[in-house]
Chain A
Amino acid sequence: MSPETPAPLDRSPLKDAELVRAMATGSQGALTELYDRHAPLVVGVAQRILGSREDAEEVAQEVFVHAWRQAASYQADRASVLTWLLLVTRSRAIDRLRSRRVDDRTRAAIESFGEEVHTSSGAFSNVLSEERGRRVREELDRLPAEQREVLEMAFFAGLTQSQIAAAAAIPLGTVKTRTLLAMKKLRAVLREQIRELL
């Protein structure tokens, strides 16, 4: 190949972890790229927890500001970047949920289980994430209803094991068993999806 016709440089998109490393050095472009990739998922999970798009977008802003500030301390061996972002989102949204009138919100969250949330995916075009989300929803639906419910009450309503036991009028040990069974089954059936994130 002659020097006048250089080979195309590698233009494959940077991995999430590479973007976070670039953010740690002050690259706002990397932050923008990460936001464009994952903000729809972040807003989606926050809206599922809070029920409000405005609140969800505020949480998303908190999450990406957090990611910007903590980029240098991100530990890739503890969680993939997407999981890190989503778990921070869940934590921030739950904090916000608890800061409201806890009893009313908790009741509403419990009552909302099973209802389909209809939202527009807008400009979201990450086919891989959509496919992964669809597959995980299928596996969640295959779980026994009692296992799926305790997992969703813990994850999306932020209820502790004891609160779930009280709300569902079942023993605490049963709540723990159902949660563990659900998590272990999901780990077994979602191996490919986990591997994608590792």
Chain B
Amino acid sequence: MTSENEREDALILSLVEGGLEALPADISEQEQVLARLYAEVLGLVAQTPEPVAPRPEARERLLAAIAAGEATGPRPAAPAPPLRTPHRPRRWPLALAAGLAALSLGAAGYLAAQLSAAKGDQVRLAGELTRTRETVRELENRVGDLQQRHVEVASRLSLITEPGAAVCALRPQGALAAQPLARGALYVAGDHQHWFLRVSGLPPVPEGKVYHMWFVTDVGPVSGGTFRTEHGASAEIGSPTMPHGMTAVVITIEPATGAQSPSGEEVLFGNQIQLIS
């Protein structure tokens, strides 16, 4: 894991110094995902200066440069075929002319019906195109979520397996003491900064309430964050920073509007911190 962290750090430093061009070509799939995420972080940093609208002449210069340098632009339209010299009208019998007129009317009707059907097809295809684009957007969002999740899981696995990582088991307190399935664990990285909390078996809190995690430190409780749970689902929160001097962890139920210190019902508590490896 340490070498993986070192590779991640090397990727980040390469990106910061040299941008996308500085990335090695032969990186693994996981490194590609990480590199993509950190490239986007840099892309966001690049968005911090105030936007400056370019002057209109700058736009014109660009378009002129593209037009001048674009040797493979759209091909000119093919020249139109020369118009045929009209034949001199011949004198046909009137009956034949009437027949042709009737035939033309029939053809016109047929073409109108075909045109109407084509319009119907166009409407249907436009609807299908819209739905397909929506599906693609949904799938792209899901892929984005999965990529994020993949990185988070890899990061947390790295956190709990690196040297010096520690865990603190949280046990039910108060009304939850009778629910043996309610439990949690706080994982702390070897740097004593990165951490994440995973809880399970906690029932959903009432409307207007949240679960609130607190670090108990030498100087008093420090908020670690709030969360809600759903029936049967676990919940996780984490952060790259942790207060100094943590001696215990407690989870209470507090108003969703916020709490300055733990004052609600205590549901989980832990103060036994053990090294994992």
Contact = CB atoms under 8 A, between A and B. Distances in A.
Interface string B128-157: 011001000000110111011000000000
A19 interface: no
B38 to A, nearest CB: 6
B120 A3 contact: yes
The 6 closest A-B pairs by CB, nearest first: A122-B53, A83-B43, A40-B51, A86-B46, A48-B49, A198-B144
Nearest to B121: A3
B20 A6 contact: no
Interface residues of A, number: 81
B76 to A, nearest CB: 13
Interface in A20-50: 26, 28, 31-32, 35-36, 39-41, 43-45, 47-48
B19 interface: yes
A87 B19 contact: yes
Contact of A86 (B43, B50, B69): B43
A31 B119 CA distance: 31
Contacts of A40: 51-54
Given A10-B126, A26-B73, A41-B51, A82 B43 contact: yes
A79 B40 contact: yes
B91 interface: no
A11 to B, nearest CB: 10
A119 B61 contact: no
A6 B119 contact: yes
Main secondary structure of the interface of A (DSSP, over half): helix
Contacts of B119: 3-4, 6
Interface of B, helix, strand, loop or mixed by DSSP? helix
Contacts of A126: 51
Contacts, number: 217
A197 B44 CA distance: 9
B123 A3 contact: yes
B2 to A, nearest CB: 14
A136 B116 CA distance: 53
20 contacts: A3-B119, A9-B126, A26-B73, A36-B59, A40-B53, A44-B51, A45-B47, A61-B65, A68-B66, A79-B36, A83-B43, A119-B52, A124-B53, A133-B51, A151-B16, A181-B240, A184-B12, A190-B44, A194-B37, A197-B40
Given A79-B36, A179-B16, A121 B53 contact: yes
Interface in B38-94: 38-55, 58-59, 61-63, 65-67, 69-70, 72-74
A79 B47 contact: no
A117 B49 contact: yes
Interface in A106-158: 117-124, 126, 129-130, 132-133, 136-137, 140, 151, 154-155
Contacts of B66: 28, 31, 65, 68
A43 B62 CA distance: 13
Given A10-B126, A160-B17, A186 B44 contact: yes
